[in-house]
Amino acid sequence: MDVKKYVIKQISIFSENRPGRLAAIAHALGEENVNILAFSIAEANGFGVVRALVDQPEKAYKKLSSIGFNVAFTDVIAVHMHDRPGGLYEIAKMLGDANINIEYSYAYSGKEGAVLILRVDQVVDAIEKISKSGATLIESSVFH
Amino acid sequence: MFWDKKTETMKGEQLQELQLRRLKQTIHQSQKVGFYRQHLSEAHVRQEDIRTLSDIEKIPFTRKQDLMGGYPFGFLAVPLNNVVRIHTTSGTTGKPTVVGYTKKDLDTWSDLIARNMTMVGVTKDDVFQNMVNYGMFTGGLGFHYGAEKIGMTVIPSATGNTKRQIEMIKDFGVTTIHCTPGYAMHLSEVAEEMHASLDSLKTGIFGAEPWSETMRHSLEERLGVTAYDSYGLSELFGPGVAFECPERDGLHIWHDAYLVEIINPKTGEQLSDGERGELVVTPLVKEAMPLLRYRTGDITMAMEDGCLCTRGRKIARITGRSDDMLVIRGINVFPSQIEHVLLKIPEVGNQFMVYVDRVNHLDEMTVDVEINRDYFSGELFDLSRIQKKVVKELMDALELRTTVRLVEPGSLPRFEGKAKRVIDRRGDTI
């Protein structure tokens, strides 16, 4: 199995927790015609990390860095969920049964159905376990 | 009340003769220190050139930075085996300033403290709780031995655990306390929350940080004490250099032990009475570590003679600093120390901003520092780890808990010329 095709590049942006920072990020991405597919904000002690799945990660990285943001790529994986009550439970139970520890996660519900994005410490191992469990991983080409 | 009435009230020619004799001894003692041999020879001053007290102007000043150069024992005028104690105080860089004491120094020092405490009316019948740091900081052991010398009942409670401090005051019938004014305020509030009575208290000795008259009134009202200002610095033994008498209008500095000058910090010229400037002190009785014309950095002025208590001339309460030193919860902090710490941490940049606030009467220091681009992994966990590392390194260097805020690279101000990295928002009031 080619696990690489399931590894998705999330961009992680360091941001101080103050008004206008998200707007600055979103504005820059809009200017570059980069589409944001999903994002979340994590906060700790006065600063935060904005995590986003975008259609053109390299372009986003370049643009945000050029205007001074501190950006890094993070490998994440995406799992398809049934967009109905109990959909998250099916996946969460599978992850638990497979003994996969989630560092963080966020989700969206779009035209391809509901998607759970996962940051795990052992990416390759997680991809293999999830595939075996019968759940559907989403290829990175779907995003970018 | 007097501890040593003759010395405390000595004035005029008699005092000047004593001062001159001791100044000559001090200069002689200083010549056992390499720095001072060079210091005087570079200024073309020989020991015999100092014939009157005003000849002291021929000698160049000693600055805190000079003491750094002697780290650790370069300023000792006696062999280390005659040094019975070492204290340290904040340095301007990574290394602290080291101060050594001979047995005689400790005796002289505790005697000065005994004078101060007796001056404000405390006696061997009093119970004294000493609520300051007992480690390298001179405030703990300094007051401890002075109070023991008087014969007071001393409780070396040190800092922390405010509830326990209050219980001890109550249970042991403490009459006299020593702490920073900020901590005293905090103590009064915790006592209020506990509905604890502090009725036994009558005397509060507060020092190590500047405090206002408003603060005095507030402390006296809340704690039921008469509040006295205490001044000192480790380089001049520690606390006990100058102290308020019951008049509480300026501080008596002990002229038999400290030769006082007030100078214009920019030009170095001596100022007249009533003109504010930097306090320069030549300690006259120090054995292990003599200093000549030491620039304290503290801003005050010489007051007119004639205190009702009949002791010598006073200096005004300290109103500020001639350098960028900060006093946070009684601890001296130089911005250069912060810079030094940050230079050693690759995960963050070298630019920084310091904010000082007063929260619930206690000083809080916040340091903004930029995350280094190359060390951003994208993970919040790693950022928290870096933040904790900076807090710990600052704690180790400053002995002070600070709040560290990680900010975006390039977002802090860059200074051309003189940097203004400290924003002190404590204001003048309590």
Average pLDDT for chain B? 94
For B171, the enclosing helix (H) or strand (E) is helix B162-172
Token pair listed for B4 = 């040593």
- The 10s digit of each residue's pLDDT in B40-49 is 999 999 999 9
Q: Which of A47, A73, A117 to mutate to test the interface with B (most CBs of B within 10 A)?
A: A47
State the greatest distance between any 2 C-alpha atoms of chain A, in Å, as a whole number. Answer: 45
A25 domain-assigned: yes
Residue A85 touches chain B, beta carbons under 8 Å:
no
* Nearest CA distance, A71 vs chain B (angstrom): 7
Mean pLDDT, to the nearest integer, of B361-385? 93
A90 domain-assigned: yes
* Nearest CA distance, B170 vs chain A (angstrom): 39
Q: Which residues in chain A are closer than 8 Å to B376, comparing Cβ atoms? A: 12, 14, 70-72
CA distance B369 to B418: 19
On whether the B1-323 domain is CATH 3.40.50.12780, my answer is: yes
Assess whether pLDDT exceeds 90 at residue B236: yes
- The 10s digit of each residue's pLDDT in B119-133 is 999 999 999 999 999
pLDDT for res B429: 53
A49 domain-assigned: yes
Token pair listed for B51 = 């014939």
Residue A101 touches chain B, beta carbons under 8 Å:
no
Average pLDDT for chain A? 93
Assess whether pLDDT exceeds 90 at residue B202: yes
Q: How many domains does chain A have?
A: 2
* Domain-wise residue ranges, chain B: 1-323, 331-424
- Nearest-CA residue of chain B relative to A73? B378
Together in a domain, A67 and A88:
no
Together in a domain, A39 and A63:
yes
Together in a domain, A71 and A84:
no
- Reported as a pLDDT band with limits 50, 70 and 90, residue A126 is very high
* Nearest CA distance, A140 vs chain B (angstrom): 19
Together in a domain, A86 and A97:
yes
Together in a domain, A10 and A71:
yes
Residue B333 touches chain A, beta carbons under 8 Å:
no
Residue B12 touches chain A, beta carbons under 8 Å:
no
Mean pLDDT, to the nearest integer, of B375-387? 93
Q: Which residues in chain A are closer than 8 Å to B388, comparing Cβ atoms? A: none
Q: Which residues in chain A are closer than 8 Å to B410, comparing Cβ atoms? A: 68
Pick from A14, A16, A51: which is nearest to B376 by CB? A14
Torsion of CA B248, B251, B256, B257, to 10 degrees: 130
CA distance B252 to B51: 26
Pick from A10, A42, A68: which is nearest to B380 by CB? A42
Q: CA of B323: how far to CAs of A46, A65, B160, B277, B427, in Å?
A: 31, 39, 30, 12, 18
Pick from A44, A47, A73: which is nearest to B378 by CB? A73
Start-to-end C-alpha separation, chain B: 31
Assess whether pLDDT exceeds 60 at residue B428: no
Together in a domain, A89 and A56:
no
pLDDT for res B350: 86
CA distance B381 to A72: 14
Pick from A44, A70, A74: which is nearest to B408 by CB? A70
A1 domain-assigned: no
Assess whether pLDDT exceeds 90 at residue B136: yes
Q: Is B317 exposed, middle or buried (0-12, 13-18, 19+ CB in 10 A)?
A: buried
Quickly list DSSP for B174-241: --EEEE-HHHHHHHHHHHHHHT---TT--EEEEESS---HHHHHHHHHHH--EEEEEEEEGGGTEEEE
CA distance B424 to B353: 11
Q: How many CB atoms lie within 10 A of CB B199?
A: 10
Q: Which residues in chain B are closer than 8 Å to A45, comparing Cβ atoms? A: 384, 387, 405-406
What ipTM goes with this model? Answer: 0.86
Pick from B373, B380, B411: which is nearest to A49 by CB? B380
pLDDT for res B90: 87
CATH architecture of B331-424: 2-Layer Sandwich (3.30)
| CATH code of the domain containing A44 | 3.30.2130.10
Residue B359 touches chain A, beta carbons under 8 Å:
no
Together in a domain, A71 and A83:
no
Using alpha carbons, select from A11, A7, A13 the residue that is nearest to residue A137: A7
CA distance B87 to B299: 24
Together in a domain, A11 and A69:
yes
Q: What count of CB pairs under 8 Å joins A to B?
A: 56
Last residue of a domain, one of A19, A42, A75: A75
- Nearest-CA residue of chain B relative to A65? B373
Together in a domain, A65 and A82:
no
pLDDT for res B94: 75
CA distance B314 to B307: 8
Together in a domain, A116 and A132:
yes
Residue % of chain B over a pLDDT of 90: 88
Residue B388 touches chain A, beta carbons under 8 Å:
no
Assess whether pLDDT exceeds 80 at residue B343: yes
Q: CA of A68: how far to CAs of A1, A43, B223, B381, in Å?
A: 39, 20, 53, 22
Q: Which of B408, B411, B412, B414 to mutate to test the interface with A (most CBs of A within 10 A)?
A: B408
Mean pLDDT, to the nearest integer, of B72-82? 97
Together in a domain, A83 and A137:
yes
Annotate B218-243 with b (16+ C-beta within 10 A) or e (fewer): bbeebbebbbbbbbbbbbbbbbbbbb
| CATH code of the domain containing A101 | 3.30.70.260
A111 or B328, which is more confident? B328
**What is the domain extent for residue A111?**
77-142
Mean pLDDT, to the nearest integer, of B319-334? 91
Together in a domain, A69 and A124:
no
User: Are A12 and B379 inside 8 Å of each other by CB?
Assistant: yes
Last residue of a domain, one of A47, A75, A103: A75
Q: Are A49 and A64 in contact (CB under 8 A)?
A: no
Q: Are B24 and B261 in contact (CB under 8 A)?
A: no
- Is B127 in a helix, a strand, or coil? strand
Kindly give the pairing relationship between strand B251-253 and strand A70-81. unpaired
Query: Would you call the peptide bond into B210 cis, given omega within 30 degrees of 0 as the criterion?
Result: no
